[in-house]
Chain A
């Protein structure tokens, strides 16, 4: 099982789309892309890099917390509303904070996760986004427009790191105790019971931070068999748990 990294860092290359869903038509046709987008962006907001597990313990589907973001706003480019390459998997807070602001203004251009390498412009330090180069107007504008350092987002990043590191620590230490006690001639049943209970508790907490959430759907709108795995840049950061 792959666990989420303590803090997800931005991709060092533009993100690649692996899904090619059938062209949707009609009013709100883009809703059909939902499952493709989830897998393509690794269940992670393309902008603030929060994972669905940071938002809901047993999957965020059904809560309206993750949405489809149109990089070129629907109000400006209605013809591209159902264009898959214009759709991004995005948390509701990022979507709401951007509203329908233009991609390019006098203050700078919004960074596109599928065209720009975000790691070259933005980095995550102490759970907050910072611009890599001082005076990078595009990066600053992206940071402001998507409100990447909204206190709730910062806290969600910090809490994930705390929870995963504590749960991993508890899991490893209780496993070591279980191994040690089982090698002894005299069993200490109450200690063994406590260690087993804690190992189970830690495992339950860790499962909640699985990189592929429980409510995934391995069915999508792609003509061929869809790619149901994590994107490489997220997979490389994940913690493998045996």
Chain B
């Protein structure tokens, strides 16, 4: 593992090593489910498949960390982001699949889909330092795609539309067309958010309406709005799919936001009943996404935002003033008791603090209008900054070591799995054996800039007449700089190759020599 690159904003201190054990314990306590589509309580991204990459770096973590840094300490964040930009771009290049025009959230490449693409756009927006209400635009997206060498028609209007159309399945939109999952309202909302982030001149409503009409999705969207009787009262909310009956706080926010973007009236979407449902989902300062789930930070954030949309302004401010103390006490209880720093776990049942949960906490604080003191801001900022892994250019979801993606390098994981779940172990082996090497081969942005400079100098030399000595000198200088840069990359490539490929072979040859010697003496 190379030394952290301080010049690129890498953490000078080694990341804390403790939480891996705790995270795994957390999984064990909650039980790892068999069905890949079945979610673990309150954190939709955790199931038995994703349990393996939580220790690695992911696009979602990158998005959350970059945005979180900007929310906590904007000025410092911009300085750090400028430093790590080349590494993050190189990381994005490795996460892009030019064959299908989508990003993959982790290096297994099995999670290529809308969520990862959305997260990648989020990373690009953060690199640009954009606020949450500012768009990246198609041109900006195209520029980033070109910067990471993505050779696919994504920058044109037909490109994004084609990407979204590819995720159309059944009667709705799926997150990843290669996975046999049911269409979800979350995927539809993500598609709409991608459209919004990349929209420029056309109004938000027009773009979304066209998308819904083109793919006949209105039925799906309106089908997710359901009415139930709870405690003798009508309540309304959104389900994840028209065939499902359970109302969910998270999807209620997504559905409301979509309808808001479409300009559907308050009466048509039964705001009063939705408000009643949200109020029922709120207890002691936190929201539970569905009736059987514990309160969580993300459900609390989505619940508060949904309430802000449906409740009249006076009732919203009244709700906030009445519950400010209990909300504050709930979110504070999600703070990891083992970590004196800033991190937060998604809910009380979970040990592992992570980037997403901490960002939700920050956003809740912002929604409540709480001003964080400088010390708290700094701690949060440091938490996010330390998730950056200079070896990959990505951000780790958890503060553990980057181990799970490198096969069985993680003794903790192996110990956890050993003899406890054979099927899980087999699945993990199958997954890790197919893993690819990180994209060491792609030139980083700085190398590309040096090549560009050489081309410019060559052109200047061609134009100038007479003495070209000064230009020649600059060419020499640029070549020296380029070679130094390439040497660093080559050394990194060599050390990883030696460690991963040659070292096991050398060990094997030594063992075989010993056996040969023994056989000769027998």
Enumerate chain A interface residues (CB-CB to B < 8 A): 27-28, 31, 34, 55-65, 67-68, 91-93, 95-97, 99-101, 105-106, 147, 150-152, 154-156, 159, 162-163, 166-167, 169-170, 173-174, 177, 180-181, 191, 194-195, 197-198, 201-202, 205, 208
Contacts and interface: CB of A to CB of B under 8 A. Distances in A.
Nearest to B459: A101
Contacts of A100: 455
Contacts of A177: 512, 515-516, 519
9 contacts: A28-B156, A56-B441, A58-B434, A63-B442, A96-B149, A155-B494, A159-B501, A163-B502, A173-B512
A56 to B, nearest CB: 5
Contact of B96 (A64, A99, A167): A64
Interface of B: 93-94, 96-99, 104, 109, 112, 148-153, 156, 158, 434-437, 439-443, 447-448, 451-452, 455, 458, 462, 483, 486-487, 489-490, 493-494, 497-498, 501-502, 504-506, 508-509, 511-512, 515-516, 518-519
A163 to B, nearest CB: 5
Given A56-B436, A201-B504, A64 B443 contact: no
A99 to B, nearest CB: 5
Given A63-B93, A151-B486, A198-B512, 6 more contacts: A63-B94, A147-B451, A151-B490, A152-B490, A166-B502, A194-B511
Contact of A101 (B112, B440, B455): B455
B104 A152 contact: no
Contacts, number: 155
Contacts of A99: 451-452, 455
Nearest to B153: A28
A122 to B, nearest CB: 20
Does more than half of chain A's interface fall in helix, strand or loop, or is it mixed? helix
Nearest to B434: A58
A17 to B, nearest CB: 20
B508 A92 contact: no
A31 B487 contact: no
Does more than half of chain B's interface fall in helix, strand or loop, or is it mixed? helix
B461 to A, nearest CB: 10
A62 B518 contact: no
A28 B451 CA distance: 24
Nearest to A170: B508
Contacts of A159: 493-494, 497-498, 501-502
A242 to B, nearest CB: 20
Contact of B99 (A62, A95, A167): A62
Given A96-B448, A150-B486, A57 B98 contact: no
A126 to B, nearest CB: 15
A157 B170 CA distance: 48
B509 A59 contact: no
Given A64-B151, A194-B515, A201 B436 contact: no
Contacts of B109: 62
Contacts of A169: 509
B493 A152 contact: yes
A31 B155 CA distance: 14
